Each structure stands twice: as C-alpha cells, then as structure tokens.
Structure 1
Amino acid sequence: MSRKITFLTLFLWLMTLTFPVIAQQKADTTYTFRFVTQKDMFYVPWNGNDTELARLLECIENNKATILDGKLPLLVDGYCNSQSSEVKNLATAKIRANRVKSELITRAKIKEENFITRNHVTEGDFVTVRLTVPVKETAVTDAEAEARRKAEAERLETEKRAEQERLAEEQRKAEEARLAAEKAEAEKTAQQNTLADTLSETKITTDYHLSLRANLLRWATLTPDLGLEWRICPSWGIAVNGSWTSWSWSDKDRRYALWEVAPEVRYYMGEKKAWYLGAMFKTGQFNYKFSEAGKQGDLMGGGITAGYQLRLNKALDLDFNLGLGYLNADFEKYEVIDGVRVRRDNETKDWCGPINAGVTLVWKLF
C-alpha cells in the first residue's frame, strides 16, 4: 500500500511540472482553398472550398476580438506554378490570395490589416490561410506571458522584413522586364520604319486603296469606333474595326466600359463592286454597372456579314452593313463594397443572331 501511495505522489508531481508547458502550446490551424489550373477565380462550392470556408469562418468568429486587435493575424499564402513565367505565376498567386481575402472581409467583417500575405511560385494551385490560435492557458506567469509577446513581435517583424524584401525583388524583376520590353519594342519600330522607307521608294502598281472607317452608330452611343480597310484588288478587301469607351458616373458607382476588335475579310460583287459578303471575327472585354450589381468579362465570336457601299463622292462612301453569327460571353457579377469589387457569381452566356450593325463613313486615303 505504501508503494502505491509513493507512485501516485510521484505521478501527480510530474503532471504538475509538465502541465504549464502543455498549456502554453499554440494550435496551428491551416485552411486550404483549391483553384482551377491557370485560373484566378475563387469558386467557393468547388473541390471542398465551401467546407474549408465554413470551418475558417467559425474559427475567425471564435477569435474575432483578438484578430481585430491585431494580436492574431491571418497568414495568407498564395501559390501558383501553372503559368508560363515566374512573373505571371506571382501575379496569379497574388490575385488568388486577394480573392480569398475579399471573401473573408465580406463574410467575416474583418479588415485588410488583419492579414499577412505572401505569394509563391511553387507547389501547386491553391491558397492557404493559417491561424496560430492559442490554447486556453493555465498557470502562466507574467514573465512567461511577456516572453511570449516578445517572441511573437519578433516573429511578425521578421515576416514583415521578409515580405518587404520579396516585394522589392519582385519590383526589380518587373522593372528589368519592362526595360527589356521597351528595348525590344524600340528595335521592332526601327525595323518597321526601315521597311516602310524601303517600300516608299518602290513604285507600287497594284490597283488598291486604303480607307479610314468610322461607324456612326457606335459614335452615337458615345462609343468611339475607328477602322481601316485595305482593298487588295477590286473584288477583295481586308478590314479591321476597333471600339473603346470608358464612362463612369454617380461617384464611379455606375460604369459603362468596353473595347472590341473585329477583323473581317470581304468579297465585293457586281459590276460596281458595291455589294459584298464577308466573314468576321470579334473579341473584346466589357464592364457594365447600371444597378447594384455589375458585370465584367470577355466576349468572343464571329459570323457572316453583308452590306452595301453607297458612293457619296470620289473620296467618301457610306457603308451599310449587318452581321449575323455567334457570340460567347464569360463574365462575373460583382458588387462594390467600401470601394472594393466583390465577386458574387460567374456566368457564361451564348448568343446567336445579330452581332454587328453599322452605318459607316468611309474615307479613301489613297
């Protein structure tokens, strides 16, 4: 009996020594959100993201006061290695991390300064959010608490310095890439100018002319539109039209912006070569926000065009045209909350029917 009492006393003494150490541990909790390869959209219901988001929101709610006080930052790491270059991988990883943070800011009512963000070009296509949540402590002395606070402050300062160094390195690489691109563009321009000078010295006997085009219907909707057409011969022509506009009002809460490019090949018929048939391709982007929800995305399609050119004088024609075909629009719906665009949904729509119409003023340059 005395041996049992001695063993029990020793066991209780060891537990007393080890319990404060265990009480001081912190539980690292990591939440992983998956992304589609080469894409930066955050699909919440996809691949278990909804379950992870629910777990993370519950953890944030349980520790919200500590998070808002800045004592418990959310460590966000964006990863991407599916793009063609390191710069593109870092850019995609950054966008992915920002989309996850926007979701948390909207749902959990926290702020940007509650995050520490880092981006990487290795390991895969995902974003992780990590919290070091302290376990409820018992029997912790003031000295231990102060030492713990100092260690946490040193860790945050180290991470901040590392983030600043990484950003400086990214900025240096981006500047080098920009200078290289400018140099390449200057060399290309010099070569093009040399070629143009050579061609200008050569007599061109081919029967063709170059025309400047302006779609008056697009201008009427406050959408500037200009284009060029090169008549290779009396029966064939190559045209390209471009449109661009960007309007905002109501303190930038409403927006109408788009750009489009539409190359086209035409075949002119008849004795006067006034009627024509053509094949057109169209691509562009748009951003509309006429109500609480906005839409922004890409469009692409093509179809058959037909039209008639009415001659006004030697230099001017009026081109009436209509295009029928197919358009695909891939866009996301968003709302603006505290000046930040927050994605709400993603949609894809297809359209078959009229895709282009114009009353175009044509000015023959030569």
Structure 2
Amino acid sequence: MSKIKKTLMSLGLLLALTPLAAQERSDTTYTFRFVPGRDMFYSPWKGNETELMRMEACVAEWKERILKGAIPVYVEGWCSSKQTKKENLAMAKIRSNRVKSELIVRQGLREDCFITKNHTTDGDYVTVSLKVPVEDTAKAEEAKAEERRIAAEKAKAEAARRAEEARIAAERAAEERRLAAEKAEAERIAREEEAGRAQEVANDSKPKATKKPEDYHFALRSNLLRWATLTPDLGVEWRVNPKWGILVDGSWTSWTWQDKDRRYALWEVTPEVRYYMGKEKRGYLGAMYKAGHFNYKLSDMGKLGDLMGGGLTGGYQLRLNNALSLDFSVALGCLHVDYEQYEVIEGVRVRAGKVTKNWWGPIDAGVTLVWKMF
C-alpha cells in the first residue's frame, strides 16, 4: 500500500513540474576571442565578426523585451594572461565593456540591460548570453528555418540566373573572337594583295638617272671660316619646301690679350631667304640682312661701333652623305658702319674720333658645314 502511494505521489509531482519545464529558458551564448594581454576588440580576429553578426541578429529579434527588462543580457569577461589577479580582473572588465559598447552603439541597448560578471581564469574571451523562453525559442527557430529555406531557394535561383548569364556571355565572347579572327584574316589578305600590287608597280617602273630633290628638313649650320678666325658660329635652316629655305646664322666672340691692351670682340646676326635651283636643288640665290656690334683694337688705335647692311647671296651645297653637306656661299651688297676710334692711355679708353662708312662689295663669305637633322 505504501508503495502504491509513493508511485502516485511521484506521478503527481512529475505532472506538476511539467508546466514549469515548458517555461524554462534556453541559453543563447556567443563567444568573442581577445588577443592575450590586450583589451582591444578586433572584430575580424578568430571569427569575432561572424559571432558579432549572429549576436546582433538575436538581440535585434528580442530587442523590445530586452529594453523592457524581460530578457537580461548576461556578459561575462575572462582573462588569465596577466601577471596578477587584479590585472586579470581589470582586463576582463575592460573587455566586457568593449563588447557591451558594440551592442549599445549598434543596437541601441542601455547599460541597465546587462548583467556583467568578470573572471580571472580559463582564457581570454567574453561571453554574451540571452536566456530566451523555450517556446519563444522554438518559434524563433521555426521562423529562422523558414527564412533559411526561402534564402536557400533565392540563392539557388540566383545561382541558376548567373550561370545562364555566364553561359550567354561565354557564347557571345566566343562569337566576337571568331568575328575578330575572320576580320584580321581578311585584313592580312588585303595587305598582302596590296603589297603584291605595289611590288609589281615598283618592278615595272624604271630607276631615274637624277636624284630626287631635297625633302623638307631642318638643319644645323656652322661657318668654318668663322671658326678659323676664333669666332664661334652657329645657325639653323628650315627648308619650307624643296625650293625655298629660311636661315638664321649667328656669331659671337670676345678675346683680349697683352694685359687687355689688345681686343677682338664681335657679335652678328644674319637672317637670310634662299631660292634653290636645278634638278637636285643644290645651287641657290638669296637675300640676306646683317646686324651686329664690334670692338677691335689690334694696334694702337681701337674701333668700337655697330654695323648693319644687306645684299644678295649665291652659292652651292656639296653633298657629303645623307646627313652632311658643305655650303659654299658669298654675299654682295652694302654694309653701313658707325664706330668710334679710341686709344688706351694708362688703362683708360680715350675717344679719338667718330667715323661713319658705307661699304659696297663683298659683305659675307662662308664654307659652312650643314647637318640635316630631319
């Protein structure tokens, strides 16, 4: 009889506890790892970013009840990498606050939503737990399973769509390559045919006895006669076309000797326009202008003044090779000179008179090296 009573009491107690079991809470726990000895919360480290996303999703789901205080958020910090228990406890506290800050900033929770506890053993991490009612958890899991199923179907459909797009793109690219190859082959054949026709024309044409006139070009010039008198000279020529050319030559020198009692100084600028004649365009006629300044003291009397004039030029260019030629030239015309005569007495230049002259005759000559640049 006593055994029957005990059995009935056990059954009654089990039935009484069944509703309570249905109200028990299940733990939803998230773990965040920290670098030993450091308190910074690195979200990309040790899977923290994934865990943070999972925790935010759960908090967002129960946020309303968390803010009302119905579901507390348990935060526990752990640290065992410091030297003393005090240091470990301080580090664990900072780490817990780091994790809570993420939820406060990202989800809008408050400090009173958390129940915090820190430990000085077992490693370097922080755990966050939400005790959600079992029945609510089951519903949430069902909803999440449905969401996952729908997401999986969408992902499958998206993958199929992308695969179809990739197949169409591959077919289009293959067709474009085929068309490009056909176009390149057609262009190659056309070039070969054109080259063949050009070669036939070249073979049929007879070589000419005379050389082709000079093409348009730009050349540097240097009068060797000037250099022979220790007067550096440099110029340029632009052949506008085979018949016409534009030149500018310039000279400059400055010499003193015998304790500056003797002097030879000069600068000149000579622009010129030429007309080339003949089949090879070697001979020419032209017009030139000259301006300059001089200071000569080759004896007891010195001359200091300016010169200006112009005239007609003529000459011939002797070709040395494809790039070099010698230009033999002479100019006839008028040269106007104004200069002062002076003597140097005890290092002081003393004026001895002024002279003005006009010279008719040869005013320039040159044996010039011409370098055709292009």
Q: TM-score, length-normalised on structure 2?
A: 0.42
Which structure has the bigger radius of gyration? 2
Q: TM-score, length-normalised on structure 1?
A: 0.43
